[in-house]
């Protein structure tokens, strides 16, 4: 988890400015970008949220695969939690350095 302060979501305010942050990805590192629909996934809209801890568990269980394998694992986990009934936006982008 990269520890940076929260900011406005992209696209909410066309006049917003953002503070750039840098981090170096070493060979084999992955960075996972996701929308709140992933961490807010829940069974039937009322169960417990998947949350950041649940997302980390999904990624850990995936065993550090390729970016596509990690994205697929997150999506499969969201589908499991919601029984395939995702009602919120869900986007996952995984970048990696080889």
Instruction: Write the pLDDT tens digit of every residue in 50-79.
Output: 999 999 999 999 988 899 999 999 999 999
Work out the pLDDT band at 21, boundaries 50, 70, 90. confident
Which CA distances in Å does 63 have to 31, 48, 58? 14, 24, 9
Which CA distances in Å does 5 have to 13, 20, 48, 50? 18, 11, 25, 21
pTM: 0.85
């Amino acid at each position: 988890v990269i520890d940076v302060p929260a900011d406005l979501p992209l696209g909410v305010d066309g006049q917003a400015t953002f503070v750039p942050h840098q981090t170096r990805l070493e060979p084999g590192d992955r960075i996972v970008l996701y929308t709140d629909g992933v961490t807010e996934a829940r069974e039937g809209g009322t169960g417990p949220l998947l949350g950041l801890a649940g997302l980390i568990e999904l990624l850990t269980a995936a065993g550090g695969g390729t970016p596509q394998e990690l994205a697929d694992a997150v999506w499969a986990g969201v589908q499991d939690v919601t029984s395939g009934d995702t009602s919120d936006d869900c986007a996952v982008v995984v970048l990696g350095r080889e």
